[in-house]
Structure 1
Amino acid sequence: MSTQNDVQLVKHFFEAIGRGDKQALLAVCAEDIEWIIPGENWPLAGTHRGHAGVAGVLQKASQEVEMTSPEPPEFVAQGERVMVLGVATGRIKATQKPFKDDFVFAFTVRNGKITKIREYVDTQALARASEKDASGQA
């Protein structure tokens, strides 16, 4: 597959997320996909494996976060890798606190499927927006 096709596949991934189209999303992912989201005190952090892991983290994201991307991300491809650079803004639903997250997603594409995603996000900004005070209030 060409790098241009790999970029298009990753764009389909983001488009499916934006539409909330789980079937289209899983169609571009390998069955043994691994999605790593770093961080602590951030509800989406962890390693998510397989279609069930991807579906689970996206379900949790829709429950926990309201997010927008004010500008389209940039896509850079070489070999089997597609890097996506962008900015997301939004708020954590439980705390109503806003955040701004500069991110990089590193995708690995093999045989026409996304096999690995590694996020590089501003974990501190996301954890801060997720924090509740000592009384448990936002």
Structure 2
Amino acid sequence: MSSASNKQRVIDAWKVFATRDAKLVRDVFTPDAEWLAPAGNATALALDGTHHLIGRDRIARFLTEEFRTVFVDHVSIEFGGFYADGDTVVVEMRLRATLAHGGHYDNEYVFVFELESGLIHRVREYMDTQRGAAWFRSPATERAL
């Protein structure tokens, strides 16, 4: 697949993630897909330490069920860019939301998507873990970090 078509597949996948439809989300991943985030990140800690998701069913459960137990309201995603080279697509993104404890969350992310035969095989997620943890410690307090 071309870089342009892989880039479009990842853009389309984000639209599928927004549907919160587990079957649709599941179908954009390979059966043995992986989603890796830094160990000890605030979202992983809020979900009992889960930072390495294996298998499309597990990833779909995170994106369609667990995500909204942490980021409960006013979720907004602002994309900075999508960049592709062959089967690798890089996404810049900013996530803002209300957390389960009522506090505000605002952090920037970079995702590296690796595709295989047009499906997502691996996602590597990067964020400012200290900034994320600060938001989780601050219920109902808006901060400028």
- Structure-2-length-normalised TM-score: 0.81
Unmatched 5+ residue regions in structure 1? Answer: none
The answer to whether the aligner puts 1:91 opposite 2:98 as a matched pair is yes
Counterpart residue identity of residue 68, structure 1:
S
Task: State the match for 2:132 in structure 1.
Answer: 126
| Contact 2:41–2:51, Cα closer than 8 Å, also in 1 | no
Q: CA RMSD in A?
A: 2.0
Q: Residues 69-103 of structure 1: CA distance to partner in whole angstroms, max 9, x if unpaired?
A: 1x33410000211000121111211x211121111
The amino acid of 2:123's aligned partner reads I
Name which of 56, 72, 76 aligns with 1:68.
Answer: 76
Residue 39 of structure 1 and its aligned partner are, at CA, apart by 4.0
Q: After TM superposition, where is structure 1 displaced by more than 6 Å over at least 4 residues in a row?
A: none
Matched, 1:15 2:15: yes
- What percent identity do the matched residue pairs reach? 24
Structure 1 counterpart of 2:118: 112
Is the Cα–Cα contact under 8 Å of residues 105 and 136 in structure 2 kept in the other structure? no
Whether contact under 8 Å (1:16, 1:22) holds in the other structure is no
Query: Does the Cα contact within 8 Å between 1:29 and 1:51 map onto a contact in 2?
Result: yes
| SS of 1:99 mapped into structure 2 | strand
Query: How many equivalent pairs are there?
Result: 132
Letter in 1 for 2:122: K
Cα distance between partner residues in 2 of 1:5 and 1:96: 40
Between stretches 96-105 and 16-25, larger displacement belongs to 16-25
